[in-house]
Amino acid sequence: MVRYRILQFINAITIRHAPPLPNEAVLLLSQKELALFQRMSAFDRHHSLTVYLELASRRPNSVHLLKAALLHDVGKGRPSVLHRTILVLAKALIPQHLTSWNRYSRHGFRGQIYSLSQHANESASFLYLAGSHKRVIELVSHQETPFDADSRLLAEVDSRC
């Protein structure tokens, strides 16, 4: 896990461009969903595409799962490497403090880290406003609290990509 996080950190620093979405992925998304995908950082677009490609190879006909793979992180905004790193460290070392940071303003550093930790809900809210299918929203909102086979598969692949 430590090795994975170090590699992820190096990726976050070095990725400036994500490869374009393959046509079959573009065709899965509505215009609004595609706009949400495109507004993510290059790091998150690259990560989401990697999750999508692995799930597409294993479950090519699971349309809702594949859409969730592409869109599960649209609520992250565009966090800096520092914010991503602090979140990883806070989750591992001081999870109880992280929970209490909900009292801080989203304009301050701790409030921003808390907000990033809640990106599953933020992503689901964006997708609700974009008119996404309720199953896609359900999978996205449970990306860190999987409850069935599809959501467990998404969480497992997400944690490795």
The residues that touch Fe ion, with contacts defined as CB under 5 A, are: 73, 158
Residue 92 CB, nearest approach to Fe ion (Å): 16
With beta carbons less than 8 A apart as the criterion, state whether 70 and 28 touch. yes
Residue 136 CB, nearest approach to Fe ion (Å): 14
Distance, CA of 110 to CA of 9 (rounded, Å): 20
Beta carbon nearer to Fe ion, 28 or 55:
55
Beta carbon nearer to Fe ion, 45 or 110:
45
Residue 75 CB, nearest approach to Fe ion (Å): 8
Beta carbon nearer to Fe ion, 130 or 157:
157
* Long-range CB contacts for residues 30-34, cutoff 8 Å, separation at least 24: 30/130, 30/131, 30/132, 32/130, 32/131, 33/67, 33/70, 33/71, 33/127, 33/130, 33/132
With beta carbons less than 8 A apart as the criterion, state whether 76 and 12 touch. no
Residue 58 CB, nearest approach to Fe ion (Å): 17
Beta carbon nearer to Fe ion, 34 or 51:
51
Residue 29 CB, nearest approach to Fe ion (Å): 17
Beta carbon nearer to Fe ion, 73 or 130:
73
SS3 of 148, please?
A: coil
